[in-house]
Every structure is written in structure tokens, then in C-alpha cells.
Chain A
Amino acid sequence: MVKLRNGGKAGIVMKIGVLALQGAVVEHIRSLELAGAEAVAIKRVEELEGLDGLVVPGGESTTIGKLMRKYGFIEAIREFSAQGKAVFGTCAGLIVLASEIEGQDEAHLELMNMKVQRNAFGRQRESFETDLNVTGINEPIRAVFIRAPLIAEVGEGVEVISTYKDEIVAARQNHLLACSFHPELTDDYRLHAYFVDMAREAAAGRS
């Protein structure tokens, strides 16, 4: 048993991977470490071995999706999730997790039962930041939306945990978490801590 570095909840330190094909990887690693996890960048499927959870970061979803296909990550992450291991997608990562992408025939991981709309708030000119309430987190968090997607519809088993102007911007389905915005771009690591807790619950459920 190793003690948490941030002096938070006692327990085993969760080892969380951040998919490092493209996008904001080091920011997630920093936030996960602040949340008391051990965080590593993942570039090939073999590196998923031994992880308790995985973050699919923000970036360009078309680029990340193509590289995931090329290097066998689609099947590998589906298998990872099937083992009950936690996965968190932010912005592009949310698109990658969805079962359906509006206007596209093909989705990527198809793990979360939801339909997403890309660039839903407009172009970069319309990108913004705002305070947002998230179910399970006490005070509002500062949410940065960059050419962000939104969740147009959720299916069975998906719990909406945050909305902005009546649009769904964060959701959870058992051990899977997704949000439209970028919690990794602020110093507030509470959403990462929430995810690390999910990974810990999932790990307890597996053992």
C-alpha cells in the first residue's frame, strides 16, 4: 500500500494512462498527479497493461481517431473497458467515446451510449470559459470550451452530470466519464479526482 501524495483519501495509488497520440497530454498528467494518481503517457497498446484507468485527451478527434485505428487502439480500449476499467474522455475524447457522431457514418470507440455533435458551439471565435455545476462536485468548476462538442442525446444507462444552457456537456455511464470542456486547462483538479475515485471504485469491483 502506498500513501497518496496529495494527502487525500487513503488507498492504493491508481495508475492512469493518458492516450498520447495527439493533443493536450501533459496537462492531463499534471492534473491526475495533483489528484493523487500516478499518470503515464500511452503511445502503444501494450502500455495499457497494468493501468487502472485511461484518459482520452482533447485534441483533434479526426487525427486521434485515425491514429487509434492505425495502431490497434480501438479494439484494445474496448477490451480495456470491457474489463471494467475506467475511461475518461475530454472534448475530442468525448467524441471518441460516443456511440454515434452526428453527420458521420462511423463512430470511434462506441463505448458510451450517446450521440454527440462536433463543433457544436461554433468556431474558435465562439469558444469560451464559464462556471459550471457538476453533479458530485460541491462548488462550480471553471470550464473551458474550445471548439467544443456537446452531447445531443443520451441513451440508457447514461447519467447527465452537467448541462450548460440546457445542453448536455458532461455525462457518466458506470465506469465511463465524458465532458465537452477541458478540466486539464485549469489548476482545479476536482474532476480528475472524481475520475480517479471512479477508477478506484472500478478496481475494487474487479478484485
Chain B
Amino acid sequence: METGTSRVKRGMAEMQKGGVIMDVMNAEQAKIAEAAGAVAVMALERVPSDIRAAGGVARMADPTIVEEVTKVVSIPVMAKARIGHYVEAKVLESMGVDYIDESEVLTPADEVFHLNKNEFTIPFVCGAKDLGEALRRIQEGASMIRTKGEPGTGNVVEAVRHLRLIHGQIRKVQNLSKDELFHEAKLLGVPYDLLLQVAEAGKLPVVNFAAGGVATPADAALMMHLGAEGVFVGSGIFKSDNPEKFARAIVEATTHYTDYRLITEVSKNLGTPMKGIDIKTLQGFDRMQDRSV
């Protein structure tokens, strides 16, 4: 009997496929998310749009919030640790969190080194903007990737950019010869063996969800159409007028992302989605996606 094997950790993400993972800030929101059909909840102190508004340093949530959420739902509970913050991650692991997000949404604790996630029993999800970044995180032990997008903006453009880029890069390496692959691995800054796996399989070796700016059912369906295996919705749900209805609609649109009549129906009278931000207005440190490479 073995725990924490790569198959057990990656397998957990396989079970989330086709689903929606929702950010929640308390027990009440967690119950709404579960009732709407979320496959997991991300327990947070503040959703990304509030983190943006508040400024300052964003850290791991108060353990009380994670505990309260864990108590009221039977679906998996995820929580965020700062990039490179070994102790926050160990605290979350000891609490029995099911998945840790080593996340650029929080202020990085280490601007150079990510965690060695291979040594943890519980699995990690990490953000990535391109294939090189995704494979570096996988090499460090990430069992799931989420394309970064730009969190807390309600603007899907960056999520689209990152997902398209990764899939374009995968198609490119599929057409490279072995000798070209050695060079490509050097250019991407990734191990050759991992890149070869991608070239042969035509996909990442772990599940890839989209994140960062998904604000409507149509946004979620768009990410599925572009090849995401599921979506994270952060601020989009609990910053909308009617979270319950919004959450249900996003779940349905994700499952039936090619059924445009169904998406039409679930999109009716949803009220106002979160306001959203034009990406061009974000500079420097406000661009969360640039906090890690």
C-alpha cells in the first residue's frame, strides 16, 4: 500500500475533469458551490478581485476558514499557499486539505524557487502561461496545471491567450524531430524527457484547467472549446448578482460546452456579472501572471 504516488496525486485531478472549481470565502458560499455542482472548492480569505482592491501582501487564508469550509462540504477542498512558502504548504497539508494551489494570486514568498512538490503527500496545482512554465512546474511535482489568465479581472482575454499558447506550443513540438527536440527543450528551459512525453502524447502529462478571468457561462464554455479540461472560477461567481444561479449556469455550460441552445437558456436573466477590468490598465506587480515564470 502506497500513498502520495504520482498516479494517486495526478489521478485526483483526473476525477475533476469536465468540472468547475469555485473560490469560496466561507462555509455558506461553500454550500452554495457544492449545491450548484462544483467538483471542488478553493477556500480563500479573499477572492482575487478583493485581493486586487485591498493591495498589500496576500497570504495563506486563516486556517479557521479552511476548517469551516471542510466541515460543511463533502467535495474536495483546495487552498492556496504562497509561491515557495514551504511552511504554509505544510500547514495546509497537515490540515487535510485535498489539493494545494501554489498560487501567484498570493504575494510570492520566494521570487526564485518554487516548492519541491514531489516531497508532499498531497497534490499541487500550479499556474502557467506557456508550455515551458507548465513543464517546469510538473518537473517540480505539480499534479495539475491551470493556465494563469489574469485573476480577479473578470476578463477572459489572458486565459484565452495562455491556453492557446500552450496548445500551439504542443502542436509545434509534436512536429519536431528528436534532434530539434533537444534544442527546443533548451529554449523552453525544460527537461528533455518531459518534452518528449508531451511530443508523443500531444498533451500535458497532467490535467489542465483554465483560470483567471472566467466570468460568464459562455466564458467557461469557451475555455472548454479551446481544450481546457475544466475551469476554475474565482471572483466570477460570488461577485455576481445572483451567485447561486450563476454557479449552476457555469457548471451546466462547462458540461455541455458545445450545446449552444443550453448555454442560451442558462445565460438568461443571470443579472450583472462582475464588472471586470481592461488588462491594458494593469501595470507591473498588478499583473499577477508575471509573478512567476
Residue numbers of A with Cβ under 8 A of B are 20-25, 27, 43, 58-60, 62-63, 66-67, 70, 91-92, 118-119, 122-130, 144-147, 182, 185-186
A129 in contact with B122 given A21-B255, A63-B19, A147-B98 (CB within 8 Å): no
Say whether B37 contacts A62, CB under 8 Å. yes
Q: Which of B1-9, B53-61, B175-183 contacts A (4 or more CB under 8 A)?
A: B1-9
Q: Which 10 A-B pairs have the closest CB atoms?
A: A124-B98, A22-B18, A60-B39, A130-B1, A24-B14, A63-B37, A128-B3, A66-B37, A123-B96, A185-B11
8 Å CB contact of B3 from A43, A119, A125, A186: A125
A127-B3, A129-B7 known, 13 other contacts, Cβ within 8 Å: A22-B17, A58-B14, A60-B19, A60-B40, A67-B251, A91-B15, A124-B98, A125-B4, A125-B98, A130-B2, A146-B8, A146-B11, A147-B98
Say whether B18 contacts A92, CB under 8 Å. no
- Quick check: is B93 within 8 A (CB to CB) of the other chain? yes
Residue numbers of B with Cβ under 8 A of A are 1-5, 7-8, 11-12, 14-19, 34, 37-40, 74-76, 93, 96, 98-99, 121-123, 251-252, 255-256
Which residues of chain B come closer than 8 Å to A92, judged between CB atoms?
A: 15
Which residues of chain B come closer than 8 Å to A118, judged between CB atoms?
A: 74
A-B contacts, CB under 8 A, total: 107
* Central interface residue in A125, A128, A145, by most chain B CB within 10 Å: A125
Say whether A21 contacts B8, CB under 8 Å. no
Which residues of chain B come closer than 8 Å to A63, judged between CB atoms?
A: 19, 37-39, 75, 251
Say whether B15 contacts A144, CB under 8 Å. no
User: How many whole Å from B19's CB to the nearest CB in chain A?
Assistant: 5
5 contacts between A and B (CB under 8 A): A22-B19, A24-B15, A60-B16, A62-B34, A144-B8
User: How many whole Å from B214's CB to the nearest CB in chain A?
Assistant: 17
User: How many whole Å from A27's CB to the nearest CB in chain B?
Assistant: 7
Q: Which residue of B lies closest to A92 (CB)?
A: B15
Which residues of chain B come closer than 8 Å to A146, judged between CB atoms?
A: 8, 11-12, 15
Say whether A60 contacts B255, CB under 8 Å. no
Say whether B18 contacts A62, CB under 8 Å. no
A147 in contact with B12 given A21-B255, A59-B17, A60-B19 (CB within 8 Å): yes
